[in-house]
Amino acid sequence: MTIFCVVPVHNRLGMTLQFLDSLDQQTVHEPISVLIIDDGSTDGTAQSLRARAGHFPLNIITGNGNWWWGGSVWRAIQHLKTKAKSGDWVFLANNDTILDPDYLSYLHETASRNERTVVGGRSLEIWPDDTRHPVSSGFLIDRAALSVQAIDGHSSEIREVDALAGRGILIPFTALAGATMHPGLMPQHFADLNLTSQMKARGFTLLVDHRAESLQVDRASSALELGQQLRPSLDKSSPMYIPAIATFWWRQTSPAKRSALPIKAFKRMRRSKAII
């Protein structure tokens, strides 16, 4: 069984090389094959990676800079449909993380013990004051309240969740069969929650194994740190991109209840000024 490591990138070659170095140090015994989706990098990413001598086979798909995260992952899934076999795994990762050596081993151990399971870990974020804060990859979805809540990253137990962040998750390839993504509407934020919550709806269990840790080496300051309130936006890079929010909750709601969504969304915005 092969683990296909899918890494969407745009520039930041140094970070990609750091990530691949940490991938080379993984203790997991399964063979690994790396698939880089280089969405229009202008820093020589594709050329440098092709010349890199790593421990694993490395393939590169190049885009035009307009794929974003959602489009890049969607193209990777289509590519793997011709390469992967039943029993293979997809490890969805970000290039701005450095994996602990046992990261994949922990995920694979937990996934192998639990049939039809998708597993994520946690990331240690470095805040502007140089303190480190553990952030879990797991989320709970409250469809009635139109709310998504991240679970506690300090937890030491294995937790079942409703959705997973796309930063370091191990997915059975069979879980991607029938998956749909909407890159134009969810180019970045909410795309991972949408993808993984679909898997749960099809009978896969989503778990977080907090033994698996990575270091987040680059991140934007969050509203939590700065005490700010996020506002709905038409900027594709915003975590509150309106088309992404609308598409996510539309897909989370049963057809019989969708007519009530606009009123629920309005009330939610009145209460908190943001649907998160």
pLDDT tens figures, 199-249: 999 999 999 999 999 999 886 544 344 445 668 899 999 989 999 999 999
Q: Is the residue at 269 inside a domain? A: no
Q: Stretch 7-35: mean pLDDT, rounded?
A: 97
Q: Is the residue at 263 inside a domain? A: no
Overall number of domains in the chain: 1
Q: Is the residue at 21 inside a domain? A: yes
Q: Is the residue at 234 inside a domain? A: no
Question: What CA–CA distance (Å, rounded) separates 65 from 39?
Answer: 5
Tell me which of 7-21, 57-71, 223-237 is least confident: 223-237
Q: Is the residue at 266 inside a domain? A: no
Q: Stretch 176-192: mean pLDDT, rounded?
A: 94
Q: Is the residue at 95 inside a domain? A: yes
- Give which of 167, 189, 191, 165 is closest to 179, Cα–Cα: 191
Using the predicted structure, report yes or no on whether residue 65 has a pLDDT greater than 90.
yes
Range of the domain at 33: 3-222
Neighbour count for residue 80 (Cβ, 10 Å): 18
Using the predicted structure, report yes or no on whether residue 52 has a pLDDT greater than 50.
yes
Question: What CA–CA distance (Å, rounded) separates 235 from 222?
Answer: 16
pLDDT > 70: what percent of the chain?
93
Question: What pLDDT is attached to residue 220?
Answer: 52
pLDDT tens figures, 142-156: 999 999 999 999 988
- Which residues, at least 6 apart from 17, have a Cβ–Cβ distance to it below 8 Å? 48, 52
- CATH code of residue 29: 3.90.550.10
Q: Is the residue at 255 inside a domain? A: no
Top pLDDT among 55 and 226 is at 55
Q: Is the residue at 133 inside a domain? A: yes
Using the predicted structure, report yes or no on whether residue 110 has a pLDDT greater than 60.
yes
Using the predicted structure, report yes or no on whether residue 270 has a pLDDT greater than 80.
no
Question: What pLDDT is attached to residue 229?
Answer: 61
pLDDT tens figures, 121-173: 999 998 888 889 999 999 999 999 999 999 999 988 899 999 999 999 999 99
Question: What pLDDT is attached to residue 219?
Answer: 65
Question: What pLDDT is attached to residue 221?
Answer: 45
pLDDT band of 272, cuts 50, 70, 90: low
pLDDT band of 120, cuts 50, 70, 90: very high
